[in-house]
Chain A
Amino acid sequence: MSTSLILLIILIVGLAAYFAGRARAMASSKGKLSVLHSLPGYHGVYVAIWAVLPAAFVLALWLLASPFFIENSVRSALPESVHSQGSATTELMLGQVMQVANGLKRLNSDELTAVTSGSSSLRDALAAKGVPMANAGEPYMVEAAQHYNSLRDSSRWVMSAVVLIIAIAGAVFAIRGISAPFRARNRVERVMLGTLLLASSIAILTTVGIVGSMLSEAIRFFQSVSPSAFFFGTVWDPRFSAAGSGGTEGQFGLLPLLAGTLYIAFVAMLFAVPVGLFAAIYMAEYARPVVRGIAKPLLEILAGIPTIVYGFFALVTVGPFLRDISAQLNGLVTGNYVNFIQAQSVLTAGLVMGIMLIPFVSSLSDDIITQVPRSLRDGSLGLGATRSETIKRVILPAALPGIVGALLLTASRAVGETMIVVLAAGVAARMQLNPFEAMTTVTVKIVNQLTGDLEFNSPQTLVAFALGITLFAITLCLNIYALYIVRKYREQYE
């Protein structure tokens, strides 16, 4: 039986268990629903849970564990001549045995006997069925493959039987426990709690897993490049790692990338913060409901545009525009029509990223500003303050912790932004302060180092993980700092 068929059967058993449980609860209530501790539906769900959950759990466990045991058994059945060639060869042969096993299943009985008796070539027979083989195959392979197939089949049958028995046994056990005072409702509640807990721990564990995998790769990187050369190096020149020449030395200085990242994020924030904040103030304090109803969703549409589209916009429109206008300006002032803004520059990337960030700033700030209690507004207006005085002296100070938190969150987005800078910032890793020149960022270099054909053992590739974990640490620190600020100010204001 296939896994999905087993699952379907478990679900059907669960459904039947639900109705059986309900009926049993109804019966034990003897027509008076109020004598039941829990509604019949809860009893049904309780029985269904007993039918489905343990069975599904055993099924999952079996599916995970059985290949391991079967492979072990087949591996030990391989002839001594294979084992003596080391573990790499053993694994290779094991893989081939599985390939053969897969192919054998497609042969009919005549072909099978022909192959086992050696009268027809294993390779040709399998190739005819669309299963390619690297070499002609050896006699022991057919044997091992058959062993493998029979193990798999019997494992599957046992599993189907066990799982079904568990499902039915669970349902029967639960049904027998049902009585009028039985607290099915509380049990179901506990299962719900467990489900929710599981969901949140999956989210957290995934994060831990991501960090763990990045860390392990980064540590491999730091085995070939010293941390001080990475974190304090001022030259980024990774070279190419030619195949087989692992010794190609590159320089992996983080500082030029970090400088570019922070510079571009700074320019973006410089642009996004005032515009976004003023837009939020207008939306929250001045705009009439009609205007607000139209303008706020429009602004938020900006947040839904994929960043690669902003990247195009920067590459095709903003960059050339800035370059041309700088040439014109230069011409007007000095008579020399040479552009002083590069098409790919800190300014271009920062400007476009700023546009991307405006809706984040304005939307988050708008929510925070409208949360300031109306009574504070009235208090200030009632003292004869104008609207802008009220905003400046009462509302913004009261909303400040939230706004600072929002800005830091936005900043961490700016630092981690990838597509816009890939297209608009350029790839030149250098440290300089001219916003009209190209600079590059950590994310751009991660993309560069990980595109193309890769071997995952050279520092040229592994550096991407070191960069990634650095970026992660930076955004993590920003977020923690945001939380710290928010908490500190909240104490002061409440």
Chain B
Amino acid sequence: MNMMSEAAVEKALDQKMNTVPFKMIGKDVSVYYGEKRALFDVNLNVRENTVTALIGPSGCGKSTFLRTLNRMNDTIDSCRVTGKITLDDGDIYDPSIDVVELRARVGMVFQKPNPFPKSIYENVTYGPKIHGLARTKAELDQIVESSLQKAGLWNEVKDRLHESGTGLSGGQQQRLCIARAVAVSPEVILMDEPCSALDPIATAKVEELIHELRANYTIVIVTHSMQQAARVSQRTAMFHLGNLVEENDTDKMFTNPDDQRTQDYIMGRFG
């Protein structure tokens, strides 16, 4: 019964999707790597407290778009971004914006689990310490516990917080990375194929986690797995050859897409 009602609530939520406000707005976003153009005038908006999945064949620009959202592309020398991206109406490419502050608001989880070669505790406190989010040890402990709980890792690691984070299993490492991102209290979390290096059981745990995180965070996830996009997201955007092909409610996308290319990709005819 309980399950049913939860599903019903979600359905209702999904149907109201079109009324959910935008958290981030991308307008005419183009990305160049040197001479090569990787994204062509993408207009894609991300809704608040929603999981938005970016799908498409390899090299279609979905990861590139994801990385424009917290300016991670800045770390690549030859990369140039044009167009406008806003976060809560503030232009994130405005020269007055502090990119460090932006990345604290828009956190990121990467394809390969990349815990720092430090203890689990230090991994989680890394961000809070840098941004001065805690003044006392007790506050730090509190952040560590709540972040690990949100990442569903607390019960597994609470007795060995001071062991190395690299000693965890792949799935645990990835959840540690999510806890690390959550610890800075971001508003948006970007996930770049977070499950591609994980086994099915670990993947299921991370997906479940994404589901729960949605209540508090806006999530954008790049994935190669259509099933995963269908399972975790409410909105889906399909990229092809650097263009945004279609963006729609996930249900509609997987049952009755507007664009033929989306249909073909989902049916496995290319990509």
Contacts and interface: CB of A to CB of B under 8 A. Distances in A.
Interface of A: 288-289, 373, 375-386, 389, 393-394, 397-398, 492-494
Contact of A384 (B101, B115, B117, B164): B101
22 contacts: A289-B77, A375-B110, A375-B112, A378-B72, A378-B75, A379-B115, A379-B116, A380-B116, A382-B72, A382-B103, A382-B107, A382-B108, A383-B103, A383-B104, A383-B126, A384-B101, A384-B131, A384-B184, A393-B116, A397-B116, A397-B117, A493-B166
Given A384-B127, A384-B130, 18 more contacts: A375-B112, A376-B116, A377-B75, A378-B72, A378-B108, A378-B110, A379-B115, A379-B177, A382-B70, A382-B103, A382-B107, A383-B103, A383-B108, A384-B100, A384-B102, A385-B127, A397-B117, A398-B116
B116 to A, nearest CB: 5
Interface in B98-135: 100-104, 107-108, 110, 112, 114-118, 126-127, 130-131
Contacts of A377: 75
Contacts of A385: 100, 126-127, 130
Looking at A378, A382, A494, the one whose CB has the most chain B CB atoms below 10 A away is: A382
A376 B116 CA distance: 6
A377 B184 CA distance: 17
Contacts of A382: 70, 72, 103, 107-108, 110, 181
B62 interface: no
Q: Size band of the B side of the interface?
A: 20 to 34
Contacts of B77: 288-289
A293 B134 CA distance: 42
Given A492-B164, A493-B166, A384 B110 contact: no
Contacts of A379: 110, 114-116, 177, 180
B166 A384 contact: no
A381 B101 contact: no
A379 B107 CA distance: 10
A386 B177 contact: no
A493 B184 CA distance: 24
B129 to A, nearest CB: 9
Contacts of B181: 382-383
Given A493-B164, A494-B166, A383 B72 contact: no
B49 to A, nearest CB: 21
Contacts of A289: 77
B74 to A, nearest CB: 9
A380 B164 CA distance: 17
Contacts of A493: 117, 164, 166
Given A397-B117, A493-B166, A381 B72 contact: yes
Contacts of A373: 114
Nearest to B167: A494
A409 to B, nearest CB: 22
A386 B100 contact: yes
A380 B107 CA distance: 10
Contacts of A398: 116-117
Nearest to B113: A375
A377 to B, nearest CB: 7
A397 B130 CA distance: 16
A288 B75 CA distance: 11
B130 A383 contact: yes
Contact of B114 (A376, A386, A389, A494): A376
The listed residue with most A CB atoms (<10 A of its CB), out of B117, B126, B127, is: B117
A389 B118 CA distance: 15
A375 B116 CA distance: 9
Nearest to B127: A383
Question: Which of A373, A377, A383 neighbours the largest number of chain B CB atoms within 10 Å of its CB?
Answer: A383
B110 to A, nearest CB: 6
Nearest to B130: A385
A493 B100 CA distance: 27
Nearest to B126: A383
A385 B100 CA distance: 6
Nearest to A491: B164
A389 B117 CA distance: 15
B166 to A, nearest CB: 7
Contacts of B107: 382-384
A205 B126 CA distance: 51
Interface string B215-238: 000000000000000000000000
A389 B116 CA distance: 13
Contacts of B114: 373, 375-376, 378-379
B110 A394 contact: no
B183 to A, nearest CB: 8
A398 B117 CA distance: 7
A304 B115 CA distance: 40
Contacts of A393: 116, 126, 130
A5 B163 CA distance: 70
A288 B77 CA distance: 8
A295 to B, nearest CB: 16
Nearest to A489: B117
A494 B100 CA distance: 28
A332 to B, nearest CB: 46
A438 B116 CA distance: 48
Interface string B151-190: 0000000000000101000000000010011001000000
A69 B181 CA distance: 82
Contacts of A378: 72, 75, 108, 110, 114
A380 to B, nearest CB: 7
A398 B166 CA distance: 12
A289 B34 CA distance: 13
- Closest 8 pairs (CB-CB, A-B): A384-B104, A382-B108, A375-B114, A384-B103, A493-B117, A383-B127, A379-B114, A384-B100
